[in-house]
Amino acid sequence: MKARPIGITILAFLFALNVAVYAVFALLAVFNHGALVAVLHTLSPSGAGPETIHSSMGRLQPIYYSGMAILTCAMAVGFWKLQNWARIVMLALIALSLLLMTTEVRPLLATPTAGAIIFTLVRIALSVFWLWYLLRRPVRDVFRREAAAAFGRVLSVGAFFLFVLGPAQAQNDVSDIILVNANVFTASNAHPHAEAIAIKGERILAVGMNQEIISLAGPKTKKIDAAGRLVIPGILDTHIHYMLMDAVPDVTTVDFGGFAPTCKHVLEMVADKVNDVSVGNLLFGFMGANAFFDPECTPAALDRVAPHTAVFLAGGTVHAGMLNSAAVKWFGIDTSASPPLAGWYGKNAKSKTWDGVVHNSAMLPLFVRAISDGSKDDEKLRKYFVDEARWGITGNTFMEYKPAARIEQLARVNAPFRVWVMPFAQYETGQKRRRLQQATVPPAIADRVTSHGEKWVLDGEPVHRTAPMRAPYADDPTTSGQTDYPDAEVRAILSEAVQHNLPLMIHVTADRSTEQLLNQMDATGGEKVWANRRLRIEHGNGLMEDLIPRARKLGVIVAENPMYLGELPLSPQRPPVWTPCRSVLEAGIPLVLASDGRPDFPFLNPFLNIQIATTYALYPKEAITREQALIAFTRTAAYSEFVEDRLGTLEVGKLADLAVLSQDIFKVSNDDLPKTESVLTIVGGNIAYSREPIQ
């Protein structure tokens, strides 16, 4: 008898392992779906591997996995008899598997985990051994003689465990919480409505009719009667600037009242307020666009009313501001240097030399210095999360200048909410763009907090007429704004993000800059590179009709902030563009709604945002339905952050993030919509907020 090659033993083992895995998956698909999702997620956290196959299976999962187990067994039998059909099918499967694997390598390298690496190695080993076997006749001959017995032994041990452990697993199928008598809007296309939900651990165990769900309750199950209320997936507000306006020790703030004070009022208040400012402190406030453009309001005028106190006033937004001479010293600005890349000086942003008025990247670092990011005030962050939960918001995306500081704070606060920390481009003086820091998230909070990607500000905004239009501004034909970045810089940002596999969120507020972005996406690989990268355009003003089909082809997602859809009190400007909503959806582009808010900001209210997006007073034709608006805040928001496999809808196996609302937002009057609250917010199976005590 020839010695059995070691490869044969390994092959038999791998083969048996393969059958066992499929059998376990099939059992889990039938008896414990939540566990199956969790297992698949561990194997492929990037969502590129088995989870993709899994979610595309839908209700066919048990059949699929049983089928694969049987097919694999049949294949083994076929091999023992060396039947040609089995060899051909196997070759095809190996080819397919290797092909699929090429798409998974990049996400795997981006987020390597032990589970994913082992799973991939097992798959590669299987393919290699099968090829080795198929291509060498002597090996096949030995295998025919020797391997059947080895395989049989391994399989029978495996079968024993399957029969013993499978049912044990299934018996575990009792829920921790059931929510009954609810009007569930799942946000899933397949089954949009249900009556009840069962939750086990952090995931949804079942969604269905009351009776079905009640049968999943055990003696220890917490039963919550929703009394007919609307239940929705947890809302994800994916565009937040977490910062506090009044918490830096050496800054005194001034509130001029309202969005559009007059220049006279601003100067009078500054003259009055400087008396309260301690020596060495800076006075900071928002003067609004009206006063900003008033010829009487200049840095020289600020010098007159505040000759000795540093005064720094933002315009209508954080993209423009004005400083008096004392503030120039306070910030230590080198007035002889030209503005940093993507920054401008001058009221009309045409000046190249220092005049005390700053735009974009000449402005943002000053703003960041003048206000607090709140990363030391943990109480405020805790309160913020509770305030959000009162609206049923379970996830936030923070655009962060210093991601590491926020992540440290999130670890300290350890709140049960989901946060994506998005590194925000931080401009420095000079012409060099800085590579953004990608901070790591400590394991203790890694189930809720993620941080990767890049947020860039590609242009200014219409409020200060810095957003680049293809036609002049209606109320100032002398300007059509200006592009902030040379094309080469945009290409560099795009290519680097592709190279490092970083999701991009790009602030774009005009048609000329939208066109620039799309052109540079074409120049960096076009559809082939971008179609699946989910690049997000923030704000999306100026995505004009001719640009929409191009954006769709490039796989762009549009994130709109409804507060900018109305006639803004902070913006007297008339840009020659509009902000599409309905056309975006009709073109097949994913539409996300988000607030662009900060703590204590009224527009944080998602139901106020839904009200604005569904009325759209300026362009009623572009209004969307309430259902579309809610989906934009849940399912599509999750998709835009690559977490649609676990968040965004109420479906079996997904994370149990949901809100029970005080009123039915599909039925209440338009005026009442913003009064909606959450009476119960659940995140990952935990009650994160409840208006009334829960027994």
- Nearer to Zn ion (CB atom), residue 596 or residue 622: 596
Q: Please count the residues of the chain.
A: 695
Residue 237 interacts with Zn ion (CB under 5 A): yes or no: no
CB of 239 to Zn ion, least distance (A): 6
The backbone region for 616, taken as left when phi is positive above 0, alpha when psi lies in -120 to 50, beta otherwise, is left
Burial of 615 (0-12, 13-18, 19+ CB in 10 A): middle
**Cα separation, 537 vs 520, whole angstroms:** 14
Bridge partner residues of 351 (DSSP): 345
CA-based nearest residue to 453, from 433, 434, 436: 436
- Nearer to Zn ion (CB atom), residue 11 or residue 508: 508
- Nearer to Zn ion (CB atom), residue 207 or residue 592: 592
HSE-CB for 432 with a 13 A CA cutoff = 3
CB of 500 to Zn ion, least distance (A): 23
How many residues at the interface with Zn ion, by CB under 5 A?
1
Q: Which stretch binds Zn ion (CB under 5 A): 319-327, 376-384, 419-427, 596-604?
A: 596-604
- Nearer to Zn ion (CB atom), residue 515 or residue 596: 596
Are 72 and 23 a contacting pair, CB within 8 Å?
A: no
- Nearer to Zn ion (CB atom), residue 226 or residue 543: 543
Q: Which stretch binds Zn ion (CB under 5 A): 110-118, 159-167, 418-426, 592-600?
A: 592-600
CB of 507 to Zn ion, least distance (A): 6
CA-based nearest residue to 536, from 516, 554, 511: 554
- Nearer to Zn ion (CB atom), residue 129 or residue 485: 485
Strands, E assignment, 343-489: 343-345, 357-359, 393-400, 418-423, 449-450, 454-457
CA-based nearest residue to 561, from 601, 607, 592, 534: 592
Residue whose C-beta lies closest to Zn ion: 596
Q: Would you give the distance in Å from CA 394 to the centre of its chain? A: 12
- Nearer to Zn ion (CB atom), residue 388 or residue 596: 596
Q: Which stretch binds Zn ion (CB under 5 A): 31-39, 167-175, 588-596, 658-666?
A: 588-596
Which residues 6+ apart lie within 8 Å of 63 measured at CB? none
What backbone torsions phi and psi does residue 254 show, to the nearest 5 degrees? -130, 135
Bridge partner residues of 395 (DSSP): 236, 418
- Nearer to Zn ion (CB atom), residue 65 or residue 420: 420
CB of 485 to Zn ion, least distance (A): 18
- Nearer to Zn ion (CB atom), residue 195 or residue 596: 596
Strands 536-539 and 504-508: parallel
Q: In degrees, to the nearest 5, what angle opens at C-alpha 548 toward C-alphas 542 and 554?
A: 115
CB of 537 to Zn ion, least distance (A): 12
Which residues 6+ apart lie within 8 Å of 312 measured at CB? 282, 283, 284, 321, 322, 323, 324, 327, 330, 331, 366, 370
**Cα separation, 654 vs 201, whole angstroms:** 11
Residue 596 interacts with Zn ion (CB under 5 A): yes or no: yes
- Nearer to Zn ion (CB atom), residue 104 or residue 596: 596
Q: Which stretch binds Zn ion (CB under 5 A): 288-296, 452-460, 590-598, 653-661?
A: 590-598
What backbone torsions phi and psi does residue 621 show, to the nearest 5 degrees? -65, -25
Six token digits for residue 292 = 């900003």
**Cα separation, 465 vs 446, whole angstroms:** 41
What backbone torsions phi and psi does residue 674 show, to the nearest 5 degrees? -65, -10
Binding flags for Zn ion, 375-414, as an x/- string (CB under 5 A): ----------------------------------------
Directed axis angle between helix 50-57 and helix 61-80, to 10°? Answer: 120
Q: Would you give the distance in Å from CA 222 to the centre of its chain? A: 31
Q: Tokens 């070759």 — which residue?
A: 91
- Nearer to Zn ion (CB atom), residue 195 or residue 237: 237
Q: Which stretch binds Zn ion (CB under 5 A): 3-11, 122-130, 320-328, 595-603?
A: 595-603
Q: Which stretch binds Zn ion (CB under 5 A): 5-13, 435-443, 589-597, 644-652?
A: 589-597
CB of 505 to Zn ion, least distance (A): 9
Residue 560 interacts with Zn ion (CB under 5 A): yes or no: no
Quick check: helix, strand or coil at residue 537?
Answer: strand
- Nearer to Zn ion (CB atom), residue 539 or residue 646: 539
Where on the chain is the footprint of Zn ion (CB under 5 A)? 596
